[in-house]
Amino acid sequence: MMNFPADLKFKNTDEWVRKEGNIATVGVSDYAQNALSDVVFVEINLKIGDQVKVDDIGATIESVKAAADVNVPVSGKVIEVNESLPDKPETINSDPFGSAWLFKIEMQNPGELDSLMDAAAYEKYCSERGH
């Protein structure tokens, strides 16, 4: 059973955002990790202090089946990256909404979140795509 946490917003390219004040934590969804299957490599392309815009490439994830770019869902300044994830890429499969977060952004325009899907809309979107 796939998980769609109600407190998150989702981008149609399968990133999730958890908003805490002005900070957006970003990762990839359960749907994405499931589609990729066994993740073997994660490269985070961002550094602390980087200014990012929506749809910049924030990370690359490779699995035994495919490679996928992770898009930045909100613009702002990178304040943290998950340094431990490249050493444990399989965490994306086991805990996509928890310890497998990729980066945190101090949002310039929190209103950008309004263009993302809520959990119910994203779940519907995923079910319409099939596998």
Helix (H) / strand (E) element for 67: namely strand 67-71
DSSP 62: E
Query: Which whole number is the average pLDDT over 65-72?
Result: 96
The 10s digit of each residue's pLDDT in 9-47 is: 999 999 999 999 999 999 999 999 999 999 999 999 999
Query: Would you state the pLDDT for residue 29?
Result: 97
- Is residue 2 scored above 90 in pLDDT? no
| Cα–Cα dist 126/123, whole Å | 5
Query: Which whole number is the average pLDDT over 109-130?
Result: 95
**For domain 9-108, which CATH number applies: 3.30.70.20, 3.40.50.620, 2.40.50.100, 3.30.2000.20?**
2.40.50.100
Query: Which whole number is the average pLDDT over 116-123?
Result: 98
**Confidence band (pLDDT; 50, 70, 90) for 118?**
very high
How do the domains of the chain map onto residue ranges? 9-108
Query: Would you state the pLDDT for residue 1?
Result: 79
- Is residue 131 scored above 60 in pLDDT? no
Query: Which whole number is the average pLDDT over 68-88?
Result: 97
Using CB atoms within 10 A of its CB, is residue 81 exposed (0-12), middle (13-18) or buried (19+)? buried
| Cα–Cα dist 104/130, whole Å | 30
